[in-house]
Amino acid sequence: MKKLKRSARIVDMTRKLLENPHTLISLTQFADEYASAKSSISEDLAIIKEVFEEQGVGFLRTVAGAAGGVIYIPYIDIVHARRFMESVIEMLSDPNRLLSGGYLYMSDLLGDPKKLGMIGKLFASVFYEREIDYVMTVETKGIPLAYAVANQLQVPVIIVRRDSQVTEGSVVTINYVSGSSKRIQTMSLGRRSMPEQSKVLIIDDFMKAGGTIRGMIDLLNEFNAEVAGIGVLVEATSTEERLVDRYLSLAELTAVDPREKKIEIRLGNYFQNHT
Amino acid sequence: MKKLKRSARIVDMTRKLLENPHTLISLTQFADEYASAKSSISEDLAIIKEVFEEQGVGFLRTVAGAAGGVIYIPYIDIVHARRFMESVIEMLSDPNRLLSGGYLYMSDLLGDPKKLGMIGKLFASVFYEREIDYVMTVETKGIPLAYAVANQLQVPVIIVRRDSQVTEGSVVTINYVSGSSKRIQTMSLGRRSMPEQSKVLIIDDFMKAGGTIRGMIDLLNEFNAEVAGIGVLVEATSTEERLVDRYLSLAELTAVDPREKKIEIRLGNYFQNHT
């Protein structure tokens, strides 16, 4: 590439970092690409780093050594996370969202690219140090959310099917008991989805008793995979029995009264651990 | 915000544009935010514009007038699009991907955030002038792809369900005939999904006869919505009867021979119209 002026180089470096989160970009690569001295590249990175940190975008981690370089880590701090989730909770507290069975209408939230991007970044901020190989979810509503998380972590997303599909090739199928309805259900995952020993982050949009997530954990056992973390957007706390122990929630649905048209939602356990 | 040095301001402007595609950002907003003169902001935008165009990232459209400003439009030109899709086709041509029923294993491609980002940008490049309000797909495999497109266009994604779900509230349900199996199937969409008169881009990962997409078109009629475009990643051309007329495909599966373990895939109709 032809030698760029400094300001042009900074534009392109900023773009490259933002488009490649959690990816090591070496100083040499930058220097070659812009036909610039490594010292100039380092100065530019210092400016980008400062702006990213000031604006709450994330941080740049410097890796020293011959193979060294820089990694952009998207990060939302607890203050911005709380402010954002409070706005989501306000949106979800509309009584018109009440559905039968104690469910909430959330399809609009789960389809909004801006909000999904923020929630994805939030989960990525929480779990980024766990060396995650895959983000997993079960069809259907949580898929855009899981993809948003995977996008920030730059790892593939894996979708568990509720029935076995020809398009997955050979599959591993398990039965599990839905925590709320106590019915026996099935989920399956293509054998080719991941190699053994993978570290997997489970993401879902809504958790009641946790039967579905319990099922995903059992399924991961069949792949000799490791559960690196569990994140749910909204959990319903009214359930008597919890089938999952350690998980992180961004919001809690504490009370639902369809007759009185009342919903109570508050910040999830992620924020309670941070007070 | 405190006054930033020029290079710092350019970092932040670049980020803001990239994170908000298809969104008008006014010069006044930039000028206020960085406590800078509009003339300086204009100069910075000229630099960003040049770099984006040179690097094939997209372009900046300037909107004149009092409410004027700048819009970042992600765009992949035909040369880069072709190069990228050729690499995808090479990946998909592996005979181990052959599944029974003439299907291809594509779950890894459809879960890869980098490749999905590129495909999403490609579809967004093709359809961006159609004033799209929503991107729609049917569960399950195409959802991350549809979200990737929606993310580039900054519009919500809507997911059609194959069965009616309590979490969607009241739904509109239609029956349709699968083009390949000739079986009657059902799809449904929550009433709250979109207002009437919406312009909708239909996105799917795979199309054989097109029965599923035909179903989505019928469903959109029930919402008095307009089909603003149809994009499929891979179409199978071996089908006798096509149930959909105007659609854009990025790849064509022209022959599948499970016995001989042979697949033939080539560039889709989007590229044929561009030669």
The distance of Cα A148 from the centroid of its chain, to the nearest Å, equals 6
Q: How many helices (H) and strands (E) does chain B have?
A: 8, 13
Q: Tell me, what's the ipTM?
A: 0.95
Residues of A within 8 A of B140 (CB-CB) are 139-140, 143, 159, 161, 165
Residues of B within 8 A of A107 (CB-CB) are 158-159, 167-168, 190, 192-193
CB pairs A-B closer than 8 Å: 174
The beta-carbon contacts of B14-20 under 8 Å, at least 24 apart in sequence, are B14/A10, B14/A11, B14/A14, B14/A15, B14/A18, B14/B48, B15/A14, B15/A18, B15/A51, B15/A52, B15/A55, B15/A57, B17/B48, B17/B60, B17/B70, B17/B72, B18/A15, B18/A18, B18/A19, B18/B72, B19/A18, B19/A117, B20/B72, B20/B154
Closest Cβ–Cβ partner in A11, A158, A169 for B14: A11
**Domains of chain A in sequence order:** 6-74 (1.10.10.10), 78-272 (3.40.50.2020)
Residues in contact with B18: Cβ distance below 8 Å, sequence separation at least 6, in sequence order: A15, A18, A19, B72
Other residues' Cβ atoms within 10 Å of the Cβ of residue B120: 24
Residue B80, H or E segment: helix B78-92
d(CA A111, CA A121): 15
Give the rounded percent of residues in chain A with a pLDDT score beyond 90: 80
Residues in contact with B79: Cβ distance below 8 Å, sequence separation at least 6, in sequence order: none
Q: Per-residue pLDDT for B137 more than 60?
A: yes
The distance of Cα B84 from the centroid of its chain, to the nearest Å, equals 15
Average pLDDT over residues A107-121: 97
pLDDT (tens digit, 9 = 90+) per residue, B203-262?
999 998 899 999 999 999 999 999 999 999 999 987 768 889 899 999 999 988 878 888
pLDDT (tens digit, 9 = 90+) per residue, A124-162?
999 999 999 999 999 999 999 999 999 999 999 999 999
A161, two tokens: 């099917």
Best interface-test mutation with A: which of B7, B50, B53, B164 has the largest number of A CBs within 10 A? B7
Tell me which of A64 and B113 has the higher pLDDT.
B113
d(CA A42, CA A45): 5
Best interface-test mutation with B: which of A138, A167, A183 has the largest number of B CBs within 10 A? A167
For residue B80, the number of C-alpha atoms closer than 13 Å in the C-beta half-sphere is: 16
Q: Per-residue pLDDT for B4 more than 80?
A: no
Tokens 């970042």 belong to B72
A50, two tokens: 């400062």
Q: Residue A236: its pLDDT value, please?
A: 92
Closest Cβ–Cβ partner in B57, B116, B157 for A15: B57
Closest Cβ–Cβ partner in A107, A143, A167 for B143: A143
d(CA B118, CA B161): 26
pLDDT (tens digit, 9 = 90+) per residue, A4-63?
789 999 999 999 999 999 999 999 999 999 999 999 999 999 999 999 999 999 999 999
d(CA B61, CA B49): 9
Start-end of H helices in chain A: 6-19, 27-34, 38-54, 78-92, 113-127, 143-153, 211-222, 269-272
The SS3 call for residue A71 is: strand
B197, two tokens: 């008169």
Residues of A within 8 A of B18 (CB-CB) are 15, 18-19
pTM passes above 0.90: yes
The nearest alpha carbon in chain B to A206 belongs to B167
A50 with B8: Cβ contact below 8 A:
yes
pLDDT (tens digit, 9 = 90+) per residue, B152-183?
999 999 999 998 777 888 999 999 988 777 88
Residue A96 backbone phi and psi in degrees, to 5:
-65, -10
Whats the size of chain A, residue-wise?
Answer: 275
